[in-house]
Amino acid sequence: MTLDTVKHATETPESAQPWAELGLKEDEYARIREILGRRPTGAELAMYSVMWSEHCSYKSSKVHLKQFGEKAPENDALLVGIGENAGVVDVGQGYAVTFKVESHNHPSYIEPYQGAATGVGGIVRDILAMGARPVAVVDPLRFGAADHPDTKRVLPGVVAGIGGYGNCLGLPNIGGEVVFDACYQGNPLVNAGCIGVMKHEDIHLAKASGAGNKVILYGARTGGDGIGGVSVLASETFDDSKPTKRPAVQVGDPFQEKLLIECTLEIFQEKLVAGIQDLGGAGLSCATSELASAGSGGMRVELDSVPLRDATLSPEEILMSESQERMCAIVEPQHVERFMEICEKWDVIATVIGEVTDGERLEIFWHGEQIVDVPPRTVAHEGPVYQRPYARPDWQDALQADDAGKLPRPTGGEELKQQVLQLVGHPNQASKAWITDQYDRFVQGNTVLAQPEDAGMVRIDADTNLGVALATDGNGRYAKLDPYAGAQLALAEAYRNVAASGAKPLAVSDCLNFGSPEDPAVMWQFAEATRGLADACQTLGTPVTGGNVSLYNQTGETAIHPTPVVAVLGVIDDVTRRTPIGFAEEGQLIYLLGDTREEFGGSAWSQVVHEHLGGLPPQVDLERERLLAEILISASRDGMIDAAHDLSDGGLIQALVESCLRGGTGARLVVPDALDAFTFLFSESAGRAVVAVPRSEEVRFTDMCTVRGLPATRIGVVDGEEIDIQGEFSIPLSELRTAHEGTIPGLIA
């Protein structure tokens, strides 16, 4: 097959091209021809098609995501906002923190181990590319029904992959989620987040400037990973659908990535790079076009110099390959030698593949012939933007009218007790230790809090005890009932979790997991969720600094529940003041903070006991969330509370069981006069937490709540070896432990 050079493309304008097979729409292909003033070469077509895909261009979501910027609250802490590899916030003492959550949903369904592993690898490189040392990871996960046979295939593979990769990198896993719901059958959600720490002056950006600067590709050799679709370009004729030998899945090498991290950090330390970008989706196409697009000049790349693992790759395939563990740096000529020395020290292959030019074009050559000549912005930043039609689904009203308040409630203590055991033993509420024990949470020696705490927390300065906390939350059931409120509740929960640990919430990242944007109902869910999240971030003063959108999570006509997963990052001046969830001291007083209403729509109780989803999710009151957070943070700083746990799915009883089991103590509780026992225990009203207050601090603590107007109700005392609800029931801790901890091993093992 002859090489499709720029010259050849100009001479053969009518040559048929497989744009449809590559996922381009007719008008998109026409636009490429218009931009170039000729037909694209095969290599150009490959680049445009992948960069203009939903995954890389955000073409369906862009118009909605704009709000995160437009409504961004004033926040002095924000150093780098949306648009870079990850956002960066100032956490004081000269430190900056970068964090982000990403999805690797589809690959993890096809090949759970490698899909999840490379998901971790990808997000870690994003963080590294900002100039930061990665210090912790989190993994919000969602699977199909817990007892579905395919869950037994997907879950252990995903967990082993996340552990296998993250453990080998030496990144403590400090949090995440595990949710089971039949709606994720066939579309598991594997989201992964990472936090990185640097000094302000070390922030790096992905841009290529300075004519004559070298473009260096370093890390793993390039193989045929993840380029299944593009192989059509390499086939003899375009309609020839001979089976491809190119794997659609990528295989990770965490050892290589660990070397890449250490090598890159050493390179940063010596200030050897002018710009840097990780290679993720769309590989070199993405890295070169984004670097050139964000910089001031053009770029010239000799594709022959790319070190290959498979010598038979075509130039199109090299451009598209998603081989893992690679980075691309822009280096001034006088630093190249030292750059190479550091790579050699770490056994990392590094190759100059091109240079920054003073032109305006991205030009790529293969065996001396030009195969790409494009304005880089048109590839990387000026892709198509869709105003997808959206419409509130016609079933939404009926769903909301199906009020969970009408479900039969337990009558009497014995039935309450049975439902409590049912709740805390349900896979969604059960202990996730079987999973999290496969993750290293101690490595790096800075972990202050990890699972099963409300938020993960790591120390970032051992001399001053400065630390950061991160929590991720999402509730697809709430979002299904009301996507606007659902997204806000996800934010509120993560925010509350961070505050419960004693840290001050600062900034947000998110991973928006939805069905097909071509379905107006899904698009409506997406529009509502982003609007809800943007509005709530504005109110709470926590800007969205970056995130990820995963669409097409659906099988046939059936989409997953809309699942916005929200990560909140917080800062704590002194990690020794952190608040754990466990009730450890007998005699301490248990206070319930916030208002409890009859709210059961989307609740864990309605799911576990009645397999019901209907009504409205809990009411959102962001001012209350903010007040609650302020109280939790002050109380932690001033030593007024010894434990705190936010209330979310499963309500008060779930939180109490977790706090008691964690601390190894029981609790005696009294149902407040204003509430019935069922509502008291199972309602999921937002804006609440339980705290354990030492008796000596009671007056100070309640005075503070009264002055600031936060309802605080004394509901009991830490005591004994059972949870006793006066006049209703009591359950020994050992029985609760068996129910809570036996479930997941029983399902999977």
Ligand X SMILES: Nc1ncnc2c1ncn2[C@@H]1O[C@H](COP(=O)(O)OP(=O)(O)O)[C@@H](O)[C@H]1O
What's the closest the beta carbon of residue 162 comes to ligand X, in angstroms? Answer: 7
Asked if 660 and 583 touch (Cβ cutoff 8 Å), the reply is yes
Cis peptide before 452 (omega within 30 of 0): yes
- Is 104 annotated in the active site? yes
Query: Does residue 453 interact with another protein by CB under 8 A?
Result: no
Which residue, 42 or 594, is less far from ligand X as judged by CB? 594
What's the closest the beta carbon of residue 666 comes to ligand X, in angstroms? Answer: 20
- Reduced to 3 states (helix: H, G, I; strand: E, B; else coil), residue 252 is coil
When binding is defined by CB under 6 A, the residue of 61, 256, 323, 648 that contacts ligand X is 648
Instruction: Find which of ligand X, Mg ion, another protein, none residue 445 binds, CB within 5 to 8 Å per kind.
Output: another protein
d(CA 644, CA 642): 7
d(CA 527, CA 388): 10
Q: Which stretch binds another protein (CB under 8 A): 239-247, 281-289, 511-519, 678-686?
A: 239-247
Given the residues 64, 104, 561, 645, the one annotated as active site: 104
| Bridge partners, 86 (sequence order) | none
CB contact set of 244 (below 8 Å; sequence gap of 6+): 228, 231, 232
Query: Does residue 223 interact with another protein by CB under 8 A?
Result: yes
- Is 148 annotated in the active site? no
Query: Does residue 453 interact with Mg ion by CB under 5 A?
Result: no
Structure tokens at 129: 């590319």
Q: Binding string, 291-310, against another protein, x = CB under 8 A?
A: ------------------xx
Asked if 326 and 207 touch (Cβ cutoff 8 Å), the reply is no
Q: Which stretch binds another protein (CB under 8 A): 119-127, 156-164, 380-388, 624-632?
A: 156-164
Asked if 287 and 277 touch (Cβ cutoff 8 Å), the reply is yes
Reference 626, options 434, 492, 726; nearest CA is: 492
Query: Does residue 454 interact with Mg ion by CB under 5 A?
Result: yes
d(CA 270, CA 249): 36
Is 437 annotated in a binding site? The answer is no
d(CA 160, CA 173): 13
When binding is defined by CB under 8 A, the residue of 214, 426, 441, 624 that contacts another protein is 441
Instruction: Find which of another protein, ligand X, Mg ion, none residue 444 binds, CB within 5 to 8 Å per kind.
Output: another protein
Structure tokens at 665: 């103590």
Structure tokens at 68: 């995160």
Give the number of other Cβ atoms within 10 Å of residue 156's Cβ. Answer: 17
- Count of residues interacting with ligand X (CB under 6 A): 17
Asked if 522 and 514 touch (Cβ cutoff 8 Å), the reply is yes
- Count of residues interacting with another protein (CB under 8 A): 49
Structure tokens at 368: 């001396």
Query: Does residue 670 interact with another protein by CB under 8 A?
Result: no
Instruction: Find which of Mg ion, ligand X, another protein, none residue 3 binds, CB within 5 to 8 Å per kind.
Output: none
Which residue, 352 or 433, is less far from another protein as judged by CB? 433
Task: State phi, psi for 631 to the nearest 5 degrees.
Answer: -65, -45
State how beta strands 362-366 and 298-302 pair: parallel
Asked if 75 and 175 touch (Cβ cutoff 8 Å), the reply is no
Task: State phi, psi for 184 to the nearest 5 degrees.
Answer: -95, 5
- Reduced to 3 states (helix: H, G, I; strand: E, B; else coil), residue 449 is strand
d(CA 505, CA 554): 33
Query: Does residue 424 interact with ligand X by CB under 6 A?
Result: no
Query: Does residue 429 interact with Mg ion by CB under 5 A?
Result: no
The residue written with tokens 């001053």 in the block is: 464
Query: Does residue 160 interact with another protein by CB under 8 A?
Result: yes
Asked if 634 and 627 touch (Cβ cutoff 8 Å), the reply is no
Query: Does residue 436 interact with ligand X by CB under 6 A?
Result: yes
Q: Binding string, 312-351, against another protein, x = CB under 8 A?
A: -----------xx---------------------xx----
When binding is defined by CB under 8 A, the residue of 403, 437, 676, 721 that contacts another protein is 437
d(CA 662, CA 567): 24
d(CA 536, CA 583): 32
Query: Does residue 245 interact with another protein by CB under 8 A?
Result: yes
Reference 438, options 144, 134, 157, 36; nearest CA is: 157
Query: Does residue 175 interact with ligand X by CB under 6 A?
Result: yes
Residue 726 is classified by DSSP as: T
Structure tokens at 332: 């001034």
Query: Does residue 90 interact with ligand X by CB under 6 A?
Result: no
Is 103 annotated in a binding site? The answer is yes
Structure tokens at 565: 């997963």
Which residue, 436 or 683, is less far from ligand X as judged by CB? 436
Task: Compute the radius of gyration of the chain from its Cα atoms.
Answer: 27
Query: Of all residues in this chain, which one has the CB nearest to ligand X in the complex?
Result: 176
Reference 605, options 438, 396, 441, 419; nearest CA is: 419
Reference 127, options 380, 450, 470, 553; nearest CA is: 470
d(CA 152, CA 263): 38
When binding is defined by CB under 8 A, the residue of 48, 268, 366, 439 that contacts another protein is 439
Query: Does residue 497 interact with Mg ion by CB under 5 A?
Result: yes
Q: Which stretch binds ligand X (CB under 6 A): 98-106, 175-183, 270-278, 517-525?
A: 175-183
Query: Does residue 167 interact with ligand X by CB under 6 A?
Result: no
When binding is defined by CB under 8 A, the residue of 4, 54, 90, 111 that contacts another protein is 111
Is 58 annotated in a binding site? The answer is yes
Which residue, 87 or 193, is less far from ligand X as judged by CB? 193
What's the closest the beta carbon of residue 648 comes to ligand X, in angstroms? Answer: 5
Q: Binding string, 166-195, against another protein, x = CB under 8 A?
A: -xxxx-------------------------
d(CA 145, CA 381): 39
42-51 vs 283-294: helix crossing angle, rounded to 10 = 80
Instruction: Find which of ligand X, Mg ion, another protein, none residue 317 binds, CB within 5 to 8 Å per kind.
Output: none
When binding is defined by CB under 5 A, the residue of 646, 649, 658, 728 that contacts Mg ion is 646
Query: Does residue 448 interact with another protein by CB under 8 A?
Result: yes
Instruction: Find which of Mg ion, ligand X, another protein, none residue 141 binds, CB within 5 to 8 Å per kind.
Output: ligand X
Indicate the annotated binding residues for substrate: 103-106, 125, 250, 322-324, 550
Q: Which residues of this protein are in contact with ligand X, per CB under 6 A?
A: 139, 141, 173, 175-178, 432, 435-436, 451-454, 473, 497, 648
Footprint of Mg ion on this chain (CB under 5 A)? 454, 497, 646
Q: Which residues are tagged catalytic? A: 55, 104
| Residue ranges that bind another protein, judged by CB under 8 A | 110-111, 114, 160, 163-164, 167-170, 220, 223-225, 245-247, 249, 251, 253-256, 258-259, 309-310, 323-324, 346-347, 436-448, 459, 462, 575-576, 578
Residue stretches of the annotated binding site: 58, 100, 102-106, 125-126, 250, 278, 322-324, 510, 547-548, 550
